């Protein structure tokens, strides 16, 4: 018999497969950005302007990967490079107005899709599920040493 942890692993794998997909298996038709941009912009929104080094520490990715991702997001008009607001040497990235607008639209689309998935759940069930997901993510973040700031 498989352990409950095996069941969690399998369900987590399926969840990651579905997170940004529509019911036919492709990107949502109203999707405005790639998953990596959505996650990066979400982090910058919560934390404030971030340098390549800070993004590297936050995501555990090398600078070359983040240079490609930030360059793509800049070309799309989602972020802009600014001097460090705290006077440091490294330039930082912040959301543009268009980036914030598209991030909000993307999040609204995801929230709407989740609302359809959980339409027959009670508010208490949704709150309990969110609490378990937060606890699960906090555990992963603690093991990896990369806590994610929450609004």
Confidence of residue 1 (pLDDT cuts 50, 70, 90): low
Residue 72, pLDDT above cutoff 90: yes
What distance in Å separates the CA atoms of residue 67 and residue 88, rounded to the nearest whole number?
A: 19
Mean pLDDT score across all residues of the chain: 88
pLDDT tens digit sequence for 40-55: 999 999 999 999 999 9
What distance in Å separates the CA atoms of residue 65 and residue 71, rounded to the nearest whole number?
A: 10
DSSP letters of 24-81?
A: TSSB-TT--S-HHHHHHHHHHHHH-SB-HHHHHHHHT--HHHHHHHHHHHHHTTSEEE
What percent of the chain has pLDDT above 90?
Answer: 64
Tell me the whole-structure pTM to 2 decimals.
Answer: 0.85
Q: Do the Cβ atoms of 93 and 80 come closer than 8 Å?
A: yes
Residue 16, pLDDT above cutoff 80: no
Rounded mean pLDDT, 98-109: 93
Which one, of 78, 136, 132, 85, lies nearest residue 105 by Cα?
78
Confidence of residue 89 (pLDDT cuts 50, 70, 90): confident
């Amino acid at each position: 018999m498989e352990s409950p942890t095996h069941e969690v692993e399998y369900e987590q794998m399926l969840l990651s497969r579905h997170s940004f997909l529509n019911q036919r298996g492709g990107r949502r038709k109203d999707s405005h950005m790639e998953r990596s941009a959505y996650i990066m912009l979400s982090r910058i929104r919560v934390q404030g302007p971030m340098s390549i080094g800070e993004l590297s520490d936050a995501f555990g990715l090398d600078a070359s990967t983040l240079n490609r991702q930030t360059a793509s997001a800049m070309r799309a008009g989602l972020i802009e490079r600014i001097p460090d607001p705290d006077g440091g040497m490294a330039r930082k990235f912040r959301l543009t107005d268009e980036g914030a607008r598209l991030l909000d639209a993307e999040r609204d689309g995801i929230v709407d899709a989740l609302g359809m998935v959980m339409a027959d759940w009670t508010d208490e069930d949704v709150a309990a599920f969110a609490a378990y997901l937060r606890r699960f993510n906090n555990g992963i973040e603690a093991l990896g040493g990369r806590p994610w700031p929450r609004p």
